[in-house]
Amino acid sequence: MATEAADFDSTQSYKDPKEPVSCLTDSPRHRRRRVHALLSSKRASFHFLLPEPPQRLLTFEEAPKWMQQNSCIRSGYRPELGSFRACVRSLTFPHNELLNCWTHLIPSVSCLVVLLLGAIYLFELSPLPSHALIPPTTPALDPSSWRAAITPVYPFPGPHQPTITLIDTAVFAGLVAGAGVCFALSAAYHCGLAHSERVCSRARRADHLGILFAGSMRFLCSFHYGFYCDVKLRNLYSFLMFVACCIGVYVIVLSDRLQAYEYRKLRTGVFIGIGSLALVPFSHGVLRYGATSLRMSFGWLAVELLCVGLGSICYSERLPEALFPDSGLFDLVGHSHMWFHLLAVAAVLAQYGGATEGFRAVHGIDGRAAAVCIKSG
């Protein structure tokens, strides 16, 4: 009888997940438990794609204090790993930071490849007698050569593009390098978030530094082509944005007090404020050259500002998970930080689109026609 009673109790405690849940037990607490059990069990939705987590994933209440950054993400937290190797290994199993890592890791590697190929090609074009890392067995513009794939990405000086200088190459390389560094530091931060509180704090500062570096490279590129015929204005606005970014580095990166979680919106506001300062030179460009000036690339600037604005709203207001705070629907996929990352990548693509439009307005489509600057007065 005791055995039968035990079997009866265990049968009663088991519930088929396919059976409908009654309204009496479908409370937020029960939903959180079901989602957490799904993430931690061998029947997790990602187990057929990725390896199982080596350790049990934690709920928000169980996670270390420094990882409790978003109370609307209820589960999927990694425990304190204390090892960089374990952090890197966590890129292979599902948790609530996995997509935050990969959405910026892939773009950062892409930027690194573009920079490496560009450096090799530029080294081959140099006039030094013994320089080639790769023997130039094929013409630079041969469609079968890898050089034909890299030349449309950013310009190189040469006989076929007589108006292009190394400054143009450096401007585009800086834009790609800024994006690559920003994405790499962001991916490193989200990957090492579970290492320890000390590593998390330092990685967060590096993440913020990467954002400021990418912004400064973006503005230098815009000012170079936007004020191509006004060297003094170009240098003035470039210097002012450099000073603004230095102030941002001090407030956001170097200040120990402002690293606390309660200053999250303040840090976001500083980022937005530095970006808003760029409206001054762009507004000056509208008054000076007109709203249709291709050198200023106002259309691409509007797309970039839209992406940055939407991403900032998602990040600061915790959308969409804040609309369903107890459901756990966005613990792994679709949470605010994932959208923030994707919109950041879209903003970088818009930056590149604006840079190419400014380049074509100055050098022509094929880099053979230099812009004619007419002095006023």
- The CA-atom distances, in angstroms, between 248 and each of 175, 319, 323 are 19, 26, 32
Q: Which two tokens stand for residue 179?
A: 């994006």
Cβ pair 59, 36 in contact under 8 A: yes
Q: Rounded to an integer, what distance in angstroms lies between the CA atom of residue 223 and that of residue 358?
A: 10
Query: Is 337 flagged in the annotation as binding?
Result: yes
Kindly tell me the burial class for residue 353, based on how many C-beta atoms sit within 10 Å of its own C-beta (0-12, 13-18, 19 or more). middle
Count the Cβ atoms, other than its own, within 10 Å of residue 245: 20
Question: Considering only CA atoms, which of 217, 216, 192 is closest in space to residue 204?
Answer: 192
Q: What is the dihedral of CA 226, 356, 181, 187, to 10 degrees?
A: 120
Which residues, in sequence order, are CB contacts of 205 under 8 Å at separation 6+? 252, 253, 254, 259
Q: Which two tokens stand for residue 195?
A: 């290492």
Residue type, 135: P
Q: How far is CA 177 from the centre of its chain?
A: 13
Which residues carry a binding-site annotation?
A: 190, 337, 341
Which residues carry a binding-site annotation for Zn(2+)?
A: 190, 337, 341
